[in-house]
């Protein structure tokens, strides 16, 4: 069964901390995505990557960065966490020619 | 970029009734319209999709219709069951290869 695995289901971090959210997929997909999900706002794209070492800004990249050193792993980095970054974070992947995304189960991050 | 609007935000139906969720999109170049279902504690999962060269697609109790002229598409669930309770997202693609999600519809199927 194909999988996208997010390393943590729940995280609590303090304001100003550097936070790493990890995502690993086992499907050899080229494209990977990070979304945040907030009530009433749906899913909003933060960053995406078409391939290793490549990254593109999504709709709300401010306060975030990403790293894609290996094809299977896509990391989201909060350089200095703030309370407005409290949210559910979802990672997804797909093949370059594919259309459907496979999502992970999400990481619920709380910044206090 | 693409802008997708989704209605209603919440929908409550009795078991066995039908449910309809409607979406509009802005980019006339959009040609692929998937629907995702998100159950509690899980990530969204693709349940059905439609391409712009067809007007309707059906998969058992789920169907999607597309009106390209009016730029709207809808999800229809017939004979609803408790396991259909979830949040549903419509999605547009626009000219970019990234997806733009609607704001979601929380469907509750009551006994």
Q: Report the DSSP beta bridge partners of residue B65.
A: B56, B74
In this complex, is the C-beta atom of A101 within 8 Å of any C-beta atom belonging to chain B? yes
Q: For residue B47, what is the nearest residue in chain A, using CA coordinates? A: A100
Residue A2, C-beta contacts closer than 8 angstroms, at least 6 positions apart: A25, A26, A27, A102
What pLDDT score was predicted for residue B16? 97
Q: Contact A78/A91 with Cβ under 8 angstroms?
A: no
Q: Contact A36/A91 with Cβ under 8 angstroms?
A: no
Q: Contact A103/A92 with Cβ under 8 angstroms?
A: yes
Cα(B72)–Cα(A26) distance, rounded to whole angstroms?
35
How many residues does this entry show for chain B?
A: 111
Rounded to the nearest angstrom, the minimum Cα separation between A101 and chain B is 7
* Cis amide prior to A96 (ω within 30 degrees): no
What pLDDT score was predicted for residue B96? 62
Chunked into runs of 10 residues, chain A (112 residues) has average pLDDT values of 87 97 94 93 93 92 96 97 97 82 95 98
B28-80 pLDDT, tens digit each: 888 889 999 999 989 999 999 998 778 899 999 999 999 999 999 999 999 99
What pLDDT score was predicted for residue A97? 72
């Amino acid at each position: 069964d194909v999988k996208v695995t997010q390393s943590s289901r729940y995280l609590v971090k303090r304001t100003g901390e550097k936070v790493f959210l990890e995502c690993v997929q086992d499907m050899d997909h080229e494209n990977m995505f990070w979304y945040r999900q907030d009530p009433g706002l749906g899913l909003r794209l933060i960053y995406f990557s078409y391939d290793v070492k490549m990254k593109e800004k999504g709709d709300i990249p401010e306060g975030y960065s990403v790293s894609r050193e290996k094809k299977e792993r896509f990391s989201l980095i909060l350089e200095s966490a703030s309370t407005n970054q409290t949210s559910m974070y979802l990672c997804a992947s797909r093949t370059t020619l594919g259309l459907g995304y496979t999502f992970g189960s999400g990481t619920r991050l709380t910044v206090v | 970029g693409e802008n997708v609007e989704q209605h209603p935000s919440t929908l409550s139906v009795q078991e066995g009734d039908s449910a309809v969720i409607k979406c509009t999109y802005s980019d006339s170049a959009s040609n692929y319209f998937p629907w995702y279902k998100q159950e509690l504690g899980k990530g969204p999962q693709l349940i059905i999709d439609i391409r712009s060269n067809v007007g309707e697609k059906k998969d058992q109790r789920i169907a999607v219709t597309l009106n390209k002229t009016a730029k709207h598409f809808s999800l229809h669930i017939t004979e609803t069951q408790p396991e259909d309770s979830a949040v549903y997202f419509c999605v547009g693609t626009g000219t970019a290869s990234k997806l733009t999600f609607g704001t979601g519809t929380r469907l509750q199927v009551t006994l």
